[in-house]
Amino acid sequence: MMNKSIVSGLIAATLLAAGFTSSVSAHQAGDFIVRAGAAMVSPNESSQNIETPDLGNLGQFSVSDNTQLGLNFGYMLTDNIGIELLAATPFSHDISINGVGKVAETKQLPPTLVAQYYFGSSGSKLRPYIGVGVNFTNFFDNEITNDVDGRLSDLSLSNSWGVAGQVGIDYQVNKQWLVNASVWYAQISTDAKFNYTFDNAGTDTSVPVTIETDINPWVYMISVGYTF
């Protein structure tokens, strides 16, 4: 419900602000826009059930939220069309198994490139926008933190490519400075691979396991921007 409320609010602002103009001239063709602020990744995850030979069905993976410094680098191709790259300091996530608790940690970088359409004119003080593009997510520093009595080892997560979308709004304080709120959605799917060891008739037997996991996060960002 919170996700829908935030997105609906930005869309409403887009419709209401199309004619909101002032003497401030911004978002013109050739402008560079740099934004920095707090970015929260909120996974909307699902995965295959984790079936084990000795403990049965452990359920699905869950992935925690995390907030980091978000950075946006934009360029206006025209007064209304721009491109933007989303970057950030590495996000850290706890990985849990339902009924077991936290079992691992991972870090990820999700650079995302989008093409944008800005509503209103270059003289508009309030510039809502929408964007669509592609996301690449790199997982690294994957670490088992609870091996479940020696059963889990050697975790890896595959990198991901997927489509991404955004809605956002800029408020131009003056010629150079602005404040921004934006919401992103990205398709992120990874194969979580690990070894599972169990007692097989008195002999420790290790089998490789691959669990397809969709993370598909919402990303919420509040930032300050500079135009030059």
HEC sequence for 202-213: CEEEEEEEEEEE
pLDDT for residue 4: 52
Other C-beta atoms within 10 Å of 55: how many? 15
- pTM metric for this prediction: 0.84
pLDDT band with cut points at 50, 70 and 90 for residue 108: very high
What domains can you pick out in the chain, each with its CATH number?
2-227 (2.40.160.20)
The CA distance from 88 to 98, in Å, is: 29
User: Percentages helix, strand, coil for the chain, rounded to the nearest 5?
Assistant: 5, 65, 30
Task: Tell me the mean pLDDT in the region 25-51.
Answer: 93
pLDDT band with cut points at 50, 70 and 90 for residue 123: confident
Other C-beta atoms within 10 Å of 210: how many? 12
Tokens 């992120």 correspond to what residue?
188
- Asked if pLDDT for residue 5 goes beyond 50, the answer is yes
- Asked if pLDDT for residue 1 goes beyond 60, the answer is no
The CA distance from 56 to 85, in Å, is: 44
- Asked if pLDDT for residue 133 goes beyond 70, the answer is yes
Token readout for 21 is: 């103009």
Task: Tell me the mean pLDDT in the region 135-141.
Answer: 98
